[in-house]
Amino acid sequence: MSENISRRDFLKLATVGAATSAVLTGCGPSSRYIKREPYMEMPEYTYNGLSTYYATTCRECAAGCGLVVRTMQGRAIKVEGNASNPVNLGKTCARGQATLHGLYNPDRVENPLKHARGTSIEIRIDESVTWDDAIQVVADALKNNDPSEIGFLMGMAPDHLFDLVSDLAASIGAPAPLRYGALSMFEARATLIKASENLFGQAALPFFDIANADLVLSFGANFLETWLSPVAYTRGFAKMRRGNPKRRGHFIQFESRISQTAAKADEWIPLLPGTEGLVALAIGRLAAEAKGGAIPKAFADVNPREVASMSDVSMEKLEHIAQLVAEAESAIAIPGGSALGLNNGLQAAQAVLALNALVDNFGKPGGVSLSPLAPNEDEYHRPASAQEMNEFVGKMKSGGVKVLFVHGVNPIFELPASLGFADALASVPQVISFATFPDETALQADYIFPDHHGLESWGYQRSATGVSQSVLSGAQPAVSPNYDTRATADVLLAAAQMAGGKFAEALPFKDEVEFIQSKLVNLIGEADGFFSAPEINTFSAYFQQHGGWWKKSSELVAASASSALDKSLQVEAAEFAGEGEYFFLPFVAPTLGEAGANKPWLQELPDPTTTVMWNTWVEMNPETAHHEGIENDDVIKIVSEAGEVEAPVYLYPAIRPDTVAMPFGQGHTAYGRYAAGRGVNPANLLGSHFNEAGDLTFAGMKVKIEKTARKQILSRLESRIGVYNEGLEEH
C-alpha cells in the first residue's frame, strides 16, 4: 500500500485489530451457546444460587458419623461433618469426604435387573424388570420358602434396615440377619467383645478414653486409621496431646510394622507376632512389682525374662514400659486388630484389658468403660464373626439356604476365599442382591434390585462406639435418587404386604418413613435428649433437621472389673498356619477402607506411610529384600496354605525383617472401572482358622516368597529416589 506506513506501524495496527477481535469474540452470548433449565417448581426452602444443606449420616463405615451435605440445585457438591453429632463433632475422614464419588459414580446399578450369574452387568444382556415385578419376586421368595431356609446377609452398620429385617425374621421364624464386613474381621471385634464379656460380664464394645489418658499402650489397635470409630478416636488422640498444657501424653504402639497409627507413637515396639498377650502380662507383672505391694493373681504366673527372650522385646524395654505404667497418672491399654486376630487373641485381649484393671482406670477419665447402648437398643448386637459366617457358608453348601438376600456387604470379596462363599452360592437356588454398585457378589446374584446410595436414603443408624453418649444418627436424602433405584426397606415392606398373612402382620407399614417413625416414637418421652418434642411429626422434623437424636450426658458404664485380676491369666503360644518363613500381616488400607476402591479420589490418596496410590504393594524390610535379591517394584509371589497372589514390593524400612505386610482394599474383579482388575486381595491368602471368640486368625499366617522376573512400577507420591537413596545408585 502506501510507502508512508512503516512495517512496525503496520504490525502494531494488525495486532491491535487482532487483539480487539479476540477480546470481543469471547464475550458474546452466541460465542458460548449454553442452555439453562430453571426449576419447574422451586422447592420452598431453595433460593437461586444459594446452597441448601441437609443433615444425614455417612455410610462409608459403621462408625455412624453425622454429615451435613451441601447441595446446589439438586446436586450434592460437598460433604462436611455435622458439628453437633457427638461422634464426629463436625469432622470427616477421607472416606466420608469421597462419598460423593460413590453417589456420582459412573458405574452404579441404575435399575432393577434380572441377572445372569457370573456375567458382568450389561443392560442389554440383563433384563430390566419393573419394580412391581421386583417386589413380586421378593414376595414370592419370602412366601414360597420355609422361613428357616431364608438367609439375610447385611453390612456392619446397625441401621434401620437391620431392625426391619430383624423384626421380619423374628416374626416369621427365619434366622436373624447376619451383619458382616471386612472391617469387623480385621478389627477382631468378636474377640474384643468376648474379652469384655469375660472380664466385665457384659458383651459390649469398650470405650477407650484416650483423650484424658497420659499413657497409651496400644496392642495392634489402629485407632487413627479405620479401627472402630476413627474420627472420634483421632479427636481423642489430639486431645491427649494438646488438651492439657502441662502434659503431652506418651503413646506406645506394639505392632510388627509402623502403621499410620504407630507413626504417631512415641515408641514403636516391633514385637514378635503372637506375643502381644505375653508382653502385656510381663508389663503387668513388672508394673505391679514397680508399684510395690502384692502381685495380682492375673500376673502371677508370667516370667518376664522368658517373655523378653520370646518376644524380641528386651528386658530393659519391658522394665522401662512397666515403669511408665507404674508412674502414669492415667494409663490405658488398648487391645485390637493384629494382636487379636490370632489363635491366642482372646487371651491376649484379656491380658491387655487386665492391665487396665491393674492401673484401676475402669470408669475413670482416661480409662476403659463400656460404651452406652444406643437409643432404642435393648442390648448390643455385634456383627457376625468369621466363624459364624463360616457356619452360614456351611449351611449354604448343604442346601440349607434356599433364598439369600444380600445388602451392604460383598462377601465374595470381604471374606477369605478359603471359606468358599463363592462356591457355596452355587447351592443356593435364588440369590437376590440389593447392591448399589456392581460388586462381585451382585454379579453372582439372580436379581439385582439396587438400593439408593446412602446420600439418597432415609434411615437411622446406631453409633455403637467411640462416643460416651447414647447416639442415634439420622439419615435423609440430600438429593433425589439419580437412577431408578428404590430403598430396600420400601421393597421389603411392599413385598411383605404383597405376600400377605404373617408377613404383612410382621411389617404393617406403608413405607420406610412410617417404619422409621414407628421406631422413633419410643424416644419421645426419653429424658436427657438434646431435643424433645410432644409428638412424632415434630420429633421427626427435628430429627431430620439436626441429623439424629442423642442424649446430652455421658452414659459410660463403669465396668465392674474387680474380678479381672483375680484369676491367673495364661496366654498360650500363638500358632501360625502355613510353612513359610515370613509372618504375613494384612491390614486395612487406611485411605480405601473396606469398600473404597471404586472411588477414584480415594485411589489417588497416597497411603500415609508408603505414599503409594492406585495399587497393592507388599511391604518388605530392605535388609530382607537385599538378602533375597529383591528390589523396589519387583513383583513377587506370596504363597500361603490357602492360595497365592502376586504383587510388587515396596521396600519398607519400618517392618520386622521376618514379616511382610499387604494392604486390603484392592484386588476387585468387579465393582466398577476404577476398582476392577487393580491390585490383589490379601484375603485370598487367609486360611479358615478361627480363634476362641470366632474371629479369623488373619494375623496368624506364615507365607513363602517366590521371585518372578517381572517388575511393576508403583505410583508413589514420594520421590522415587527412595528411603535409602537406592534410586540414586548408578546402574
Partner 1 sequence: MGIDLNLVGAKGAIAEEAEGKWGMVIDQDICTGCQACVAACAMENNLPFVGEEDAAYGRTMHWIRVERFWEGAYPEIKATPFQPMLCQQCGHAPCEPVCPVFATPHSEAEQINLQVYNRCVGTRYCANNCPYQVRSFNWRDYHTQPFHANDVDGQLVFPFHNQFNPDVTVRRRGVMEKCTFCIQRIHTAQDKAKSEGREVEDGEFTTACAQACPANAITFGRMDDHESLVSQLAHQKHGVKHLEELNTLPRITYLKEG
Partner 2 sequence: MVRKFFEWVMSPMGRIAVLITALSLFSLAAYGIYQTQQPPEQPIEFTHKLHVGLGVQCLYCHPGALRGPSPGLPTQTKCWGCHQQIAKTFESEKLAVLVEYVQNNKPIEWVPVAQVPDFVHFTHRPHIAAGLNCENCHGDMTQVEIAENPQVLNMGWCLKCHRSKAAGDPEKLVKLIDCGTCHY
**7 forms part of the interface with partner 2 (CB under 8 A):** no
Give the strand order in the sheet containing 430-433.
127-128, 113-114, 447-448, 430-433, 403-407, 150-154, 178-179
Shortest distance, position 32 Cβ to partner 2, whole Å: 6
Site string for partner 1, 676-695 (x = CB under 8 A): --x-----------------
Shortest distance, position 715 Cβ to partner 1, whole Å: 4
In the numeric block, the cell 482358622 is attached to: 689
In 304-432, where does DSSP find H-type helix? 304-311, 315-327, 345-358, 386-397, 411-414, 421-424
Shortest distance, position 683 Cβ to partner 1, whole Å: 22
| CB nearer partner 1, residue 376 or residue 616 | 616
Taking Cα atoms as reference points, which of 646, 626, 623, 627 lies closest to residue 636?
Answer: 646
State how far the Cα of 599 lies from the Cα of 615, in Å rounded to an integer.
Answer: 13
Helix (H) or strand (E) holding 660: strand 659-664
Pull the grid cell for residue 143.
412366601
**41 forms part of the interface with partner 2 (CB under 8 A):** yes
Of the candidate spans 39-47, 139-147, 566-574, 653-661, the one that interacts with partner 1 by CB under 8 A turns out to be 653-661
Site string for partner 2, 189-218 (x = CB under 8 A): ------------------------------
Site string for partner 1, 192-231 (x = CB under 8 A): --------------------------------xx----xx
Q: Which of 297, 707, 718, 721 lies at the binding interface for partner 1 (CB under 8 A)?
A: 718
Q: Which of 5, 24, 83, 728 lies at the binding interface for partner 2 (CB under 8 A)?
A: 24
Shortest distance, position 430 Cβ to partner 1, whole Å: 30
- Residue 89 DSSP symbol: T
- Tell me how many degrees the CA angle 314-320-321 measures, rounded to the nearest 5: 95
Site string for partner 1, 51-90 (x = CB under 8 A): ---------------------x--xxxxxxx------x-x
Q: Which does 673 bind (CB under 5 to 8 A by kind): partner 2, partner 1, none?
A: partner 1
- Tell me how many degrees the CA angle 666-344-196 measures, rounded to the nearest 5: 90
Taking Cα atoms as reference points, which of 165, 163, 136, 167 lies closest to residue 151?
Answer: 165
Q: Which does 235 bind (CB under 5 to 8 A by kind): partner 1, partner 2, none?
A: partner 1
State how far the Cα of 550 lies from the Cα of 538, in Å rounded to an integer.
Answer: 16
State how far the Cα of 478 lies from the Cα of 555, in Å rounded to an integer.
Answer: 31
Site string for partner 2, 42-61 (x = CB under 8 A): x----xxxx-----------
State how far the Cα of 459 lies from the Cα of 449, in Å rounded to an integer.
Answer: 18
> What residues have CB less than 8 Å from 15, skipping those under 6 apart?
none
Of the candidate spans 25-33, 358-366, 515-523, 702-710, the one that interacts with partner 2 by CB under 8 A turns out to be 25-33
102-121 positions binding partner 1, by CB under 8 A = 103-106, 108
| CB nearer partner 1, residue 189 or residue 656 | 656
Of the candidate spans 262-270, 293-301, 356-364, 549-557, the one that interacts with partner 1 by CB under 8 A turns out to be 262-270
Shortest distance, position 30 Cβ to partner 2, whole Å: 5
CA distances from 722 to 623, 681, 726 (A): 14, 25, 6
Of the candidate spans 10-18, 493-501, 655-663, 681-689, the one that interacts with partner 1 by CB under 8 A turns out to be 655-663
| φ and ψ of 402, to 5 deg | -95, -30
State how far the Cα of 160 lies from the Cα of 460, in Å rounded to an integer.
Answer: 6
Q: Which residue ranges make up the site for partner 2 (CB under 8 A)?
A: 1, 17, 21, 23-42, 47-50
